[in-house]
Structure formats: structure tokens, C-alpha cells
């Protein structure tokens, strides 16, 4: 039974590897959904310049509704600073505020 389990694990791994090998890396985009890092812009810069394609941060709503629907520690202004800084240090990276 242990031998069968090892064979099953091996088949699963081989299938996953084959699937990854089939991905056209030119068409693969990387998006990072990030926190506001409590306003620490050097952390925003590290992520924004890491080679990703899309820098996302959930603003979630308009400024007027932010205090009602978001954690009190998350301010609209800080979220905007995060996205603006990401765009400033990595202008080629798309920014996504994820407003719904």
C-alpha cells in the first residue's frame, strides 16, 4: 500500500510539473494583492519593483464611505499614497485599486 501511495504521489507531481511546463511564460502575468504596509513606502517599493505586472491594493470603496466599511486603521488617503508610490517607482506596472 505504501508503494502504491508513493506511485500515486509521483504521478500527481509529474502531472503538476507537466502542467506548469505547458504555460507560455510570455502570457503569464503576476499580480500581487498587497496590504498598505502601514504606510511604509519602502515596502511598497520592494513589491512594486519585484518584477510583477499588476500592483493591487483593495481600496474597496469611495473616500466618503471608507470609515463605515473599512477597518479604522485603513484610511483612503493612505491607500491612495500606496498606489501612487507603486506607480511612481514602477511606472510600467499596472495599479489596481479593487474598488467594487
pTM: 0.71
Task: Tell me, yes or no, whether 37 lies in a domain.
Answer: yes
Residue 74: what pLDDT?
86
- The answer to the question of residue 71 being in a domain is yes
Q: Does residue 9 form part of some domain?
A: no
- What is the rounded distance in angstroms from the CA atom of residue 28 to the CA atom of residue 12? 23
The rounded distance, in Å, linking the Cα atoms of 8 and 84 is 48
Answer whether residue 88 is part of any domain. Answer: yes
SS3 59: coil
pLDDT at 86: 98
Cα–Cα dist 79/55, whole Å? 12
Is residue 14 assigned to a domain? no
pLDDT of residue 48: 97
Provide the number of structural domains found in the chain.
Answer: 1
Q: What range defines the domain where residue 38 resides?
A: 24-96
Along the 100 residues of the chain, how does pLDDT read in single tens digits? 666 555 555 554 454 555 555 666 678 899 999 999 999 999 999 999 999 999 999 998 999 999 898 888 889 999 999 999 999 999 999 999 988 6
**What pLDDT sits at residue 23?**
61
Which string of DSSP letters, residue by residue, matches 5-59? HHHHHHHHHHHHHHHHHTS-GGG---EEEE--GGG-HHHHHHHHTSS-SEEEE--
Polymer length of the chain: 100
Residue at 79 is within a domain: yes
pLDDT of residue 71: 87
**In this structure, is residue 86 part of a structural domain?**
yes
In a domain, 8, yes or no: no
Amino acid at each position: 500500500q505504501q508503494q502504491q501511495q508513493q506511485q500515486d504521489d509521483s504521478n500527481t507531481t509529474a502531472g503538476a510539473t507537466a502542467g506548469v511546463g505547458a504555460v507560455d511564460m510570455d502570457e503569464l502575468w503576476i499580480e500581487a494583492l498587497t496590504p498598505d504596509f502601514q504606510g511604509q513606502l519602502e515596502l511598497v517599493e520592494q513589491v512594486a519593483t519585484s518584477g510583477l505586472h499588476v500592483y493591487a491594493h483593495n481600496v474597496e470603496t469611495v473616500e466618503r464611505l471608507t470609515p463605515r466599511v473599512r477597518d479604522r486603521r485603513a484610511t483612503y488617503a493612505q491607500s491612495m499614497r500606496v498606489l501612487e508610490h507603486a506607480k511612481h517607482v514602477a511606472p510600467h506596472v499596472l495599479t489596481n485599486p479593487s474598488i467594487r
